[in-house]
Amino acid sequence: MYKTHQQTLTVNGKSIRLTIPAGVENGQTIKISGHGSAGVNGGPNGDLYITFSINNSTKFKREGSNLYADAELDLYTAMLGGEIMLDTFEGKVKLKVNPETQTDTRVKLKGKGFPVYKKDNEFGDLFYTYKIKLPANLNERETELFKELSKIRGNGK
């Protein structure tokens, strides 16, 4: 969960107001003391354990407080450099792409990841991996230019 929020649950006929901290992970279990079943022979109530099942509906893969995603680059931006817009949980950011960027290059956006569990204002990092998209459906002129470039690069000139 990206933001801390409160939720009310009904357990054993009692309403429990629960604060769910930002950064809780899928499969993580938290304990709420004294809110479980009644104790044996008038003993104290047991504890309530809640295990979170979180459905990730984003394009980001989460590992701890770090997030990972792919960013598609067109061939021209990869070769010549430029700027692209990338998504974060707080909106879009502009990122400079260096000339001659190779596919599978990974860039880190420090502090743009997921909140660190129970640590206010601490965030993991967001890592994007560039994937180069090659042009398709070339026209005759574009094909000739690529052939010419191939001859120049192939001959080492």
**Residues 23, 65 share a domain:** no
> b/e for 127-142, b at 16 or more Cβ within 10 A?
bbebebeeeeeeeeee
C-beta neighbour count of 103 within 10 angstroms: 12
Query: Is this structure's pTM higher than 0.75?
Result: yes
pLDDT score, position 157:
46
Question: What's residue 1's pLDDT?
Answer: 66
Q: What is the pLDDT of residue 120?
A: 84
Look up the CATH number of the domain holding residue 117.
2.60.260.20
Q: Is 156 part of a structural domain of the chain?
A: no
Together in a domain, 23 and 47: yes
**pLDDT for residue 155:** 59
Overall number of domains in the chain: 2
Q: Both 123 and 68 in a single domain?
A: yes
Mean pLDDT of each 10-residue bin along the chain, 157 residues long:
83 84 87 82 85 86 95 95 94 96 97 91 96 94 90 69
Claim to verify: residue 123 and residue 66 sit in the same structural domain: yes
Which residues form the domain of 117?
61-135
Give the alpha-carbon dihedral of 28, 32, 37, 38, to 10 degrees.
160
- Give the phi and the psi of residue 129 in degrees, each rounded to 5: -110, 125
